[in-house]
A and B are shown apart, each in its own frame.
Chain A
């Protein structure tokens, strides 16, 4: 069975601080995909990144960066110089690389960035 754990339920930071959101996953599959989604207060789910299990390169997109480490089954997300608009719930998710399989989500981390 697949499982995603986001141990941090809530994090509060002051604007301009860096913050890392942790994600640990469990799967027996050798190929799989990992995702991060953002859920702002308005409620929609916004796709941020997809990473396949063969690609362990870290990725940077503006103030966002992701650190995928297969050895520790982790896919952590860092926001540099956080802004108030980053306040949201962030979900890590996992899916198999076969067929029409669903996403398995973690419980999410609520990030509050205080001005």
Chain B
């Protein structure tokens, strides 16, 4: 069964460093998302992406964040200069075109900023 994959599973970085989180969505999906979950809290939307552009972004997704689909399979989230409060689990999700269709989530990348 196709699934969303994410790498790395864990990343530890120093404050101020850039990190790139990678995702490979399900192959026939066209809508892509990033969400974040601070430890013990709810899952929060960051950004949605379709047709090589951002569809919607939340207040969390400020200028430090960017997304890219550099090729036909990868979908990346870059944090330019990490802060302590960026420590969280980052989930990538994808879905098919039809509105309301289920978003399938990757296993997440646990980011720790020291």
Contacts and interface: CB of A to CB of B under 8 A. Distances in A.
Contact of A98 (B35, B58, B89, B99): B99
Contacts of B107: 42-44
Contacts of A99: 55, 99
A100 B31 contact: yes
Nearest to B47: A102
Nearest to B97: A100
Contacts of A33: 100
Interface in A72-115: 91, 93, 95-108
B41 A107 contact: yes
A43 B91 CA distance: 10
B52 interface: no
Given A101-B56, A107-B42, A43 B110 contact: yes
B105 A37 contact: yes
Interface residues of A, number: 29
Contacts of B58: 102
Contacts of A50: 100-102
Contacts of A32: 100
A42 B35 CA distance: 17
A100 B56 contact: yes
Minimum-distance CB pairs A-B, first 4:
A102-B45, A100-B55, A45-B105, A33-B100
Given A31-B100, A103-B43, 16 more contacts: A44-B106, A45-B91, A45-B105, A47-B104, A47-B105, A50-B102, A97-B100, A99-B55, A99-B99, A100-B49, A100-B50, A102-B33, A102-B48, A105-B44, A107-B41, A108-B42
Interface of B: 31, 33, 35, 41-45, 48-50, 55-56, 58, 89, 91, 93, 99-108, 110
